[in-house]
Structure 1
Amino acid sequence: MISQDYLDCMQNESRLHSPEAEHALIGAMIHQSALIDDVKLEVGDFYQPDCAELFELLLALKSKGRQIDVVTLSDARPNLADGSSTLAVAAHIAHNTPSVANFAEYARIVKQRSVARRVIAAAHIMTERLKDGEPLDEVLAQGQQAWVSLEAEGVDSRKRYRFIGEILPEAIDGVDRRFNREAVLGFDTGLPSLDKFIPGICPGHMVVIAGAPGSGKTTLGLGIAERVALVAKSTSLVFSLEMTDVELTNRSLASVGSVQLKHITEGHSMADSDWPGLTSAVGRLNGAPLIFCDDASLTMRDIRQICRTVKREHGLGSVTLDYIGLINGEGKSASRYEQVTDISKSIKRLAKELGVPVMVLAQLNRGPANRANKRPTKSDLRDSGQIEADADVVVLVHRDSESEEGQSGVTELIVDKNRHGETGFCRVQHQGAYHRFAELVGYQPSSEEVEIGRTFAGRHRTKGAQHDSF
């Protein structure tokens, strides 16, 4: 049974439909049939039955290449469904059309009122389903799909594109502000040698950080996320489908406080010299805009919803996903390859939608293990080649555990894809005890030496830690 509130809402003409806009839109298309191709509406978007029927008739005549005016409309269908004369109705509408020039505005009003009616209808359906005892999770999941679709349809199409002349002032203003050090391109990584390749972790970009298990990809991803929160003072949202939020917090305490993670995890091994560092880290992290989500059952729909909530309530600077291979697919019948392909595309869309960088951690396949130098390439990304295609930047974390330098923590960060900068590699020091990377100062081998696996010559020292500037 339909509720009275629902009926009352549907009868509110001023908000849910506009007879004037619908008639003016039909009249404009009768006057200029070329406009029919420009309107992005369906028959169901019209509330007035005569307008819906005339629009259907206009589409039919246009598709057949026939000339359109009130006479040809009447010839194709002499009477409308209610028995009224097509000629009389069409002539009345055409005669009373205020202006063909305002066609786009009429279409916008009709579309937005249509979406508003469908929002109310969708909410009513969800209400009735819940009253019938259907599971809340199922109703919410289907409802969310409907909201996303309706939200996209309700956006004014005029706002979806801009002429370059409209964009230039914004672009030049950005150049001027960066020149005067009033703004930066994006978030830095805290590793100057890596920042030479990546001038900024930029809004809207999908940054893939990949490596073999234990290589340090989580260390790098979490380190950048911490820096966004502690240095840029911007909300940093981290999804971990592999570790708990307490484990992530322990790693942040270790890296920020320069306290060995082993001591923090064990507790009993904490030395007197560790407590000042731990206290300092607590002081810096407490109240920091760093958010952890450790729900291992997340799908991309869940992640999108959480991101939107955080952005609305706290603002949002960056998102980190650890890692893509653990995100649950939504198509149960699809293969894992197809699922990850869809997930990757969704992540790229999410970055643009939110206007923030999304850092995606990923695993590598076994390809590097079969090569002499063990160095990975972006084609070694596991599960789907779509990840490589969607990424704006791909950073490969590589440490050769069989070499002397690898055993001492020397790690290559290979920028193997960079849409907005150079590719190349740098070497940094992995300080595993503190769960962080630091700059490496010393001999830098040539690319030829790296290719032939020449022994890393010379002594090295680290210069500070990634979070020394926190």
Structure 2
Amino acid sequence: MSLLALQAEQVIVGCCLQGQILLEQIDGLRPDAFAGESHREAFAAILGSWSQGLPVDPVRLQDLLRDRGTAREELGYWIACSDSGFSVALLPGHIARVREMAARRALLATADRIAALAHEGGDIGEQIAAASAAVAELSQEQGEKRGLRVMADVVRDFLPEFGKRFEPKQDGVPTGFRDLDAVLHQMRPGNLVLVAARPAMGKTSFAMQIATREAERGGAVAVFSQEMADLELAARMFSSVGRIPLEGINRGELSSDDHERFASAVSRLQGLKLFIDDQPAQRLADIRTKVQRLRRRHPLSLVVIDYLQLMEGTPSKSSNRNSEIEQISRGLKAMAKELGCPVIALSQLNRDLERRPNKRPVLSDLRDSGAIEQDADIVLMLYRDEVYNPDSPDKGTAEVLIRKHRQGATGVVRLSWQGAYTSFGDLAPGWVEREAETSAGRAYAFND
């Protein structure tokens, strides 16, 4: 099959030279989509002249090409293109043909790059990651680019989606914590949700409770645990779900009641579509490949990554860890949109916050890169005062600080904390602190 569309290119150039079409009718076509070198140079010259508000006929085109030193055809060729009698009404079909052949040539070039990687020496994991990145880059380049849209079209597309929000079952994922869901409503498809905390605050337990509840709702959940082994995670899940002290599970010392609760937890957990990968230091390309493979078998509703700073970036001579984390963060957001489900990424916080009198974290405490804050749709930060103050009056409770919520309110939600089960829970109704900026500062209102 030929990957050239030289006749279609000739028609497009000819229609431009006829002076019967406008710039917007070209529909964003770029010169690099043309395979014929003379056609490519001519189309670039035409677009340049149009951008200055100047029309182009065959004579002017030839002058432009000569000025650029790219005149590869005689004037008669452009006159023939202009006088060929092609119908402007058929122009969209010719544009589509040129675009298709350009995409096929790009696909072939990507395949050649991947074939060259296969013949090179070096680490096979890095080469597979590079191949995956090349395919992802091609997919992004060839994705639909809608450009400017009139508001009537935006409203038309928004109304059906808005109507779905009033249906009993939404397509998002709840956290399962009553007061937190009252503020967030749901984690929506394509959301990147960041859960950040200092060590020992319970961020892994918090994320795993959300993951378990979503799996119990019937969703398929993928968990990438890069710090904790899958059996260690399982022990925590049995403790949380079965209300069994984690220390007893780890020591193998269970009461008769614990044995019954353990059996109940087994029946609850073993049938869930909850998939755990505990391979450490994974690359984003590896994770994307695995979730895409899983998605072919089970429609994914949630992905959890524990934690972001343990992921391996793609280093270059000019990169540092901050730029690698920025690359990973943006890749996770792109993956969430690509999968059409929320991605929860756990994150560390800078230890500098522990030097402050008030150790409640803020966005500037995010470790390694400010891009994490920019890419995330929701940023939740966990704080338990008893970690720093063992005699705290707030012992047994935790604060979920909603530091960023792209589609709604920020504020503070209080949860209970049962350390024996490494488990969070709902408090009595009324512990949602909704934050509002006023001229006098921040005001808080409590739900009744």
Does TM-score exceed 0.5, indicating one fold? yes
Smaller-chain TM-score range?
0.7 to 0.9
Q: Secondary structure at the match of 1:239?
A: strand
- Which of 194, 219, 228 is the matching residue for 2:214? 228
Paired with 1:156 and 1:348, the residues of 2 have a C-alpha distance of 18
State the shift of 1:180 in Å.
Answer: 3.9
What is the aligned residue count? 428
Look up the SS of the partner of 2:407 in the other structure.
coil
1:344 matched to 2:332? The reply is no
The offset of 1:314, in angstroms, is 1.9
- Secondary structure (helix, strand or coil) at the match of 2:201 reads coil
Aligned match of 2:397 = 410
Q: Give 1:162 shift.
A: 4.8
Q: What's the offset of the Cα at 1:138?
A: 4.3
**Contact 1:216–1:430, Cα closer than 8 Å, also in 2:** no
Deviations 1:219-269 (CA, angstroms, capped at 9, x unpaired): 1111111111112x1221212221112222222222222222223333x31
- CA deviations 1:129-162 (Å, max 9, x no partner) are 534656533443332232122212222434x665
Write the distance in 1 (CA, Å) between the matches of 2:46 and 2:412.
61
- 2:420 corresponds to which of 419, 425, 433: 433
Q: Distance in 2 between matches of 1:77 and 1:85?
A: 9
**Rounded Cα–Cα distance in structure 1 between residues aligned with 2:26 and 2:237:** 54
- 1:327 is displaced (CA, Å) by 1.6
Output the CA distance in 2 between the equivalents of 1:60 and 1:161: 21
Q: Shift of the alpha carbon at 1:349?
A: 2.7
Structure 2: any 5+ residue segments left out of the alignment? Answer: 435-448
Query: What's 2:307 paired with?
Result: 323
- The one-letter code matched in structure 2 to 1:327 is M
User: Using the alignment, how far apart are the partners of 1:36 and 1:88 within structure 2?
Assistant: 28
Normalised by the length of structure 1, the TM-score is 0.80
Q: Is the 8 A contact 1:203 1:355 kept in 2?
A: yes
Q: Of 299, 304, 310, which residue of structure 1 is paired with 2:283?
A: 299
Q: In structure 2, which of residues 232, 246, 265 is the aligned counterpart of residue 281 of structure 1?
A: 265
Q: Describe the SS at the equivalent of 2:300.
A: coil
Please give the residue correspondences for 1:360-439 in structure 2 after superposition, counting only pairs within 5 Å. 360-401=345-386, 402-405=389-392, 408-439=395-426
Query: Matches of 2:92 and 2:342 in 1, distance apart?
Result: 34
Residues 1:184 and 2:170 aligned together: yes
**Which range moved further: 44-53 or 237-246?**
44-53
Which structure 1 segments of 5+ residues have no match? 1-11, 448-470
Q: 1:410 to 1:114 in 2, by over 3 A?
A: same
Secondary structure class of the residue paired with 2:111: helix
Distance 1:97 1:367, change over 3 A: farther
CA distance in 1, matches of 2:429, 2:34: 71
Aligned residue number for residue 28 of structure 1:
15
Say whether 1:216 aligns with 2:202.
yes
Sequence identity, in percent? 32
For 2:6 and 2:85, locate their aligned partners in 1 and report how far apart those are by CA, in whole Å: 12
C-alpha distance in structure 1 between counterparts of 2:158 and 2:429, whole Å: 39
Alpha-carbon separation, structure 1, partners of 2:61 and 2:170: 59
2:124 matched to 1:136? Answer: yes
**Cα offset for 1:363?**
1.8
Q: Give 1:276 shift.
A: 2.7
RMSD, aligned α-carbons = 3.3
Displacement of 1:104 in angstroms is 4.6
Alignment CA distance shift 1:274-1:124 (3 Å)? same
The 2-side partners of 1:191 and 1:445 are apart by 11
- What is the one-letter code of the residue matched to 1:304? R
Match of 2:442 in 1: none
Query: Structure 1 residues 97 and 411 mapped into 2: Cα distance closer, same or farther (>3 Å)?
Result: farther
2:298 is aligned to: 314
C-alpha distance after superposition, 1:37-84 (max 9, x if no partner): 956555553234553453355457668886421122344568xx9x99
Change (3 A) 1:184 1:97: farther
Cα distance, 1:332–1:92 mapped onto 2, change above 3 Å = closer
Which whole-Å CA distance do the structure 2 matches of 1:425 and 1:408 have between them? 17
- Give the letter aligned to residue 209 of structure 1: V
Matched, 1:151 2:139: yes
